[in-house]
Chain A
Amino acid sequence: MSRNEWPLWEIFIRSQHGLAHKHVGSLHAPDAEMAVKNARDVYTRRNEGVSIWVVKSEDITATAPGDKTPLFDPAASKVYRHPTFFPMPEGVKHL
């Protein structure tokens, strides 16, 4: 059954120039050209996009939910990466 199903694609739409593509959902299509056409029909009926990316779902590598802690914990303890860690004196400009 799955051998005859159209592969799954993840769809990313950029809504305006200068903004990043955003993941909007997925759809099935036999190839990239159909995926783009279908994405246009399913996800941009109200002028939502100026650009479409389609990526086969199997080509996406994602982190596992269980990896959250080891992957992201180190960032939590490095508060000096934020400018607010360094209060600047009142009189000093442009810092």
Chain B
Amino acid sequence: MYAQMVDTGEKRLRSLEELSPEEQAFQRRIDADVKIEPKEWMPEGYRRTLIRQISQHAHSEIVGMLPEGNWITRAPTLKRKAILMAKVQDEAGHGLYLYAAAETLGVSRDQLVGELHSGKAKYSSIFNYPTLTWADIGAIGWLVDGAAIMNQIPLCRCSFGPYARAMIRVCKEESFHQRQGFDIMMKLCAGTAEQKAMAQDALDRWWWPSLMMFGPPDAESVHSAQSAAWRIKILSNDELRQRFLDQTVPQADFLGLKVPDAALKWNDERGHYDFGPIDWQEFHEVIKGNGPCNRDRLRTRVTAWEDGAWVREAALAHAEKRAARAKQAA
């Protein structure tokens, strides 16, 4: 989900015999479910892939604060406002856990932030869509956090210790996010005709982008095989997408909402829902920078970073001054 445009550096999946002795020992540990910790030997491709994947996950959390932050001042009640603020604070915290995990691999925070701001590093496509109504906040919690949970639970078992531990922490906090969203949807769907229509409209706009969150079809995911062998990708894009869809459609039925997919149909033989074609061109355009909000999101982040520079520098200067004074007094 966060490995968009991540190049593992491997042209093809090599068999155990083709690997160097160190790589073989490393692969054996992965296969034995042993966690890899930061200072241990690891193939350069593993390190680079993880840095990019974990940091893109972190960027997604931070940028993800923006679409929901947009509605904090306009939440319908004080309770909803406090709850939304708590959720957005959680997203900041998730970003911070993930940056910390990425930094254990020998990269600095400034470097990671620089890659986001230059456009070199990506963040999840979903956050390039606008939040147009309060119902969008419900849809995001229900669908977007729901999709994130689907991806994050398997990652709790990934091979890299700091990433797996960060995921465990994140998963504990993420379930409230999804329930909060569904709670909003339930309230709207049980309300006036206008409120229910608002909920339906939000579902109409967020459904397909949420399915796209899981990434391109397996057949087009060139680097998935290597990531799977290294256990930094546990389940395939298509499998995660199907699981998410299967569990979400009954939830939409419960709400009395219609999923905007004419081809959606339960397939008894497969034991899964069949669904319509995804517009992958839209996905690739959004990843490339041509979604509704890409420029706005990046500009907001760059401005926050640049406007906050004096705070970072002042805090450091203050700390150094106090340390010098303390040393003198000693």
Binding site for B on A (CB under 8 A): 1-2, 4-6, 8, 24-28, 30-31, 34, 41-43, 45-46, 62, 64-65
Contact = CB atoms under 8 A, between A and B. Distances in A.
Contact of A6 (B40, B93, B101, B312): B312
Contacts of A64: 39
A1 B93 contact: no
Given A25-B166, A45-B90, A65-B40, A5 B96 contact: no
B109 interface: yes
B182 interface: no
Contacts, number: 58
A41 B322 CA distance: 24
Contacts of A24: 169
Interface residues of B, number: 29
B315 interface: yes
A6 B316 contact: yes
Contacts of B86: 45
A28 B97 contact: no
Contacts of B89: 41, 45
Interface in B152-167: 165-166
Contacts of A42: 93, 96-97
A25 B100 contact: yes
A6 B315 contact: yes
Contacts of B313: 4
Contact of B110 (A2, A41, A46): A2
9 contacts: A5-B110, A6-B316, A30-B315, A30-B316, A30-B319, A31-B315, A43-B93, A64-B39, A65-B37
A28 B109 contact: yes
B70 interface: no
Interface of B: 37, 39-41, 86, 89-90, 93, 96-97, 100-101, 103, 108-111, 165-166, 169, 173, 312-313, 315-316, 318-319, 322-323
A24 B93 CA distance: 13
Contacts of A65: 37, 39-41
Nearest to A33: B319
A26 B110 contact: no
Nearest to A11: B100
Contact of A34 (B169, B173, B315, B323): B315
Given A30-B318, A45-B89, A5 B109 contact: yes
A34 B190 CA distance: 46
